[in-house]
Amino acid sequence: MWDFQWTLQILPDLMDGLAVTVQITVLGYLIALVLGLLIAIVRRAPFVGAVLHAAMEFVRTTPLLIQVVFVFLLAPAYISPMTVGIVVIGVHYAAYTAEVYRSGIEGVAKGQWEAARALSLPARRTWGAIVLPQAIRKVIPALGNYLIATFKDTPLLIAIGVGELLTEAQQIGSASFRVVEVYTVVGFLFLLVSIPSAILLRRLERRYAAV
Amino acid sequence: MPPSDTRQNEEPQGVGGQSQGQPLIVFDDVVKRFGDLTVLDHLNFSVAPGERVTLIGPSGSGKTTILRLLMTLEKVTEGVIWVGDEPFSHMRRGGGQLTQASEGYLRERRKRIGMVFQQFNLFPNMTVRQNITEAPVHVLGTPKGEANARAEELLDLVGLGEKIDAHPTQLSGGQQQRVAIARALAMQPEILLLDEVTSALDPELVAGVLDVLREVAETTDITMLCVTHEMGFARDVSHRVLMFDQGRIAEEGSPEQIFGDPKEERTRSFLSSVLEKGH
Ligand SMILES: Nc1ncnc2c1ncn2[C@@H]1O[C@H](COP(=O)(O)OP(=O)(O)O)[C@@H](O)[C@H]1O
Ligand SMILES: [Mg+2]
């Protein structure tokens, strides 16, 4: 039978797990946003760009779980599992956001580059004041989708013992055998974060699609 | 109506630039190829300081390519372009030899040249003011206040003073093109390149843009290279007309001669085809 009292008791531990999950998501996603942008820009360079492209292709075609475990085993012991998790998730999703940025950059009309050149604008201004503002605006909805994807992938970090939500749940579940309660609550907690995020994203999408 | 300024070199200049005085722009045996396609075929001509030259000719004859070479949006395949006393498509190496110009060299040199495009190419993420002040502030190092004051003056010149804080998307095509002209002028170019600047406009908006350009022609001594199918405008404003065909100059002369008494059959048939289209 569903024991409401008991559910309330385990909630604080699960909330701690959720806090870790959110932290990993936010930090990993920030890495993905910044790194992906840098990759998208450098990818346009002739040689380094090709190398980078191959590396990203590799990251996208191997499972995140394997990347996480692999890096965890290679990383020196003083680096915490949580840090490994954040960095690997960040780099993994950077491979995806880089593609999103790239499509945004390619969507900027050729005439914009030419007008910038005709005005002798330095590369820094051409990118920073003209190309990227237009490119990023267009891809905000697509980037947002990767926030939710990142969030949904954090439970993989259970494999390296990061104390995120699923790890907490597993510990409680195996100690009490009340698996149904535990995972029901976990499911609700995930929804608690992902539904508002999704609504927020749809709003962003509408706002930027309108232009 | 011939231009009413005091310049003496109204005489048509020969191919190769045998003009009196120092030419500002020289195309010295310029060849431009895209793959197998030869777009400019050993082209020689020169333009005097302050001269306004109209380029006419059928679509695909290489007019845009000439302007794009000058704007350094394309590189020459053979030959050399000179601007002032200096090589432009190339730079001097030790011993006076010319080599392909580096990006840094081009950036310095092209500051003297401005261009207005057929499709306006305003920056949609910036206001009209930012469009005009961006390059003066970030390329010339003009103080913001000064650049702003200049933007206001230029917008008054093009009749859009009240649109200074508008975004390009809020403007008609004709208004956008007038802002683009103001943006180019804000860099105080010695040379202004105009590539079919009214071709993308609704017919009723063309006159406004041409009036602005007439004003610029009358009140400044900017050297202009203008590709246009607006023959009335070309006649009023230009000192010389070059008729292009297949990457070569088919005929050149004063606007009166080219439009009134073209010598070449190609020129005649081109002009009548333009007239038929209702321009
Ligand atoms: N980037 C390019 N790549 C290949 N061909 C080009 C390119 N730009 C122009 N051309 C070709 O060069 C020729 C001349 O073009 P253009 O200078 O635009 O002529 P015009 O302005 O007189 O119509 C055309 O045949 C055009 O298709
Ligand atoms: Mg053209």
Average pLDDT (A96-112) is 96
CA of B77 to the centre of ligand 1 (A): 14
Helix (H, G, I), strand (E, B) or coil at B244: strand
Distance (Å, rounded) from C-alpha A65 to C-alpha A162? 13
Residue B206 located in a structural domain: no
Starting at the edge strand found earlier in the chain, the sheet holding B223-227 runs B113-116, B191-195, B223-227, B52-56, B240-245, B248-253
A interface toward B at CB cutoff 8 Å?
A: 109, 111-112, 114-115, 117-122, 125, 129-130, 133-134, 137
Of the pLDDT bands very low, low, confident and very high (cuts 50, 70, 90), residue A174 is confident
Does a structural domain hold residue B154? yes
Q: What is the pLDDT of residue B12?
A: 38
* Least confident window among A193-197, B54-58, B60-64, B120-124: A193-197
CA dihedral of A7, A165, A196, A146, whole degrees rounded to 10: -160
Domain count of chain B? 1
Cα–Cα distance, A210 to B180 (Å, whole number): 25
Q: Is the CB of B61 under 6 A from ligand 1?
A: yes
pLDDT tens-digit series, residues B197-222: 999 999 999 999 999 999 999 999 99
Query: What pLDDT is attached to residue A209?
Result: 63
Residue A145 lies in a domain: yes
Q: Considering the domain boundaries, does residue B275 fall inside one?
A: no
The ipTM (two decimal places) reads 0.88
- The verdict on the CB of residue B39 being under 6 Å from ligand 1 is yes
Of residues B97 and A132, the one with the higher pLDDT is A132
Q: Do the domain assignments include residue B69?
A: no
pLDDT of A1 reads: 65
Residue B160 domain-assigned (yes or no): yes
Domain residue limits at B136: 123-188
Least confident of A31-40, A71-80, A185-194, B227-236: A185-194
Chain A residues near residue B134 by CB distance under 8 angstroms? 119, 121, 125, 129
Q: B247 to chain A, minimum CA–CA distance in Å?
A: 23
Instruction: Calculate how close chain B gets to A174, using CA atoms only, in Å.
Output: 56
pLDDT score of B76 = 94
CATH number of domain containing A123: 1.10.3720.10
Contact residues on chain B for A110, CB-CB shorter than 8 A: none
Q: Is residue A52 part of a domain?
A: yes
pLDDT of A68 higher than 90: yes
| Global pTM value | 0.86
Q: Which domain holds residue A175?
A: 9-210
Query: In this structure, is residue A1 part of a structural domain?
Result: no
Q: What is the mean pLDDT of residues A80-101?
A: 95
User: Mean pLDDT, to the nearest integer, of A55-73?
Assistant: 94
Report whether residue B60 contacts ligand 1, using a CB cutoff of 6 Å: yes
Q: Does residue A155 lie in a domain region?
A: yes
Rounded percentage of chain A residues whose pLDDT exceeds 70 = 98
Look at A63 and A205; give whichever has higher pLDDT: A63
- In the numeric block, the tokens 């730079």 are attached to B91
Ligand 1: centre distance to CA B39 (Å): 7
A189 confidence band (pLDDT: 50, 70, 90): confident
**Nearest-CA distance B254 → chain A (Å):** 29
Ligand 1 pocket mutation pick from B54, B64, B195 by most atoms within 8 angstroms of CB: B64
Kindly state whether residue B79 falls inside one of the protein's structural domains. no
Set of chain A residues whose Cβ sits within 8 Å of the Cβ of B139? 119-122
Contact assignment for B123 to A114 by CB distance below 8 Å = no
Q: Measured between CA atoms, how close is B71 to chain A, in angstroms?
A: 6
Look at residue A3 and tell me if it is in a domain.
no
Mean pLDDT of chain B: 90
Tell whether A2 is covered by a domain.
no
> Most A CBs within 10 Å: which of B68, B113, B125, B185, as the mutation test of the A interface?
B125
Using pLDDT thresholds of 50, 70 and 90, give the confidence band for residue A141.
confident
Q: Over range A10-27, report the average pLDDT.
A: 89
CA B112 – CA B116 distance, rounded (Å):
14
Residue B180 within a domain = yes
B39: three-class secondary structure by DSSP: strand
Mean pLDDT rounded to a whole number for chain A: 90
Q: What percent of chain A has pLDDT over 90?
A: 56
Nearest by CB to A120, from B111, B119, B123: name it. B111
Q: pLDDT above 90 covers what percent of chain B?
A: 80
Residue A123 pLDDT > 50:
yes
pLDDT of residue A175: 85
Helices (H), chain A: 4-42, 46-61, 64-74, 81-106, 110-118, 123-125, 132-153, 165-176, 179-209
Cβ–Cβ contact B220 with A under 8 A: no
Is A199 inside any structural domain?
A: yes
Cβ atoms B63, B57 nearer than 8 A: yes
How far is C-alpha A11 from the chain's CA centre?
26
User: Per-residue pLDDT for A173 more than 90?
Assistant: no
Size of interface A-B (CB pairs under 8 A): 59
In a domain, B233, yes or no: no
Give the count of domains, chain A. Answer: 1
pLDDT at res. B129: 97
Task: Classify residue A4: in a domain, yes or no.
Answer: no
Residues of chain B contacting A109 with CB distance shorter than 8 Å: 121
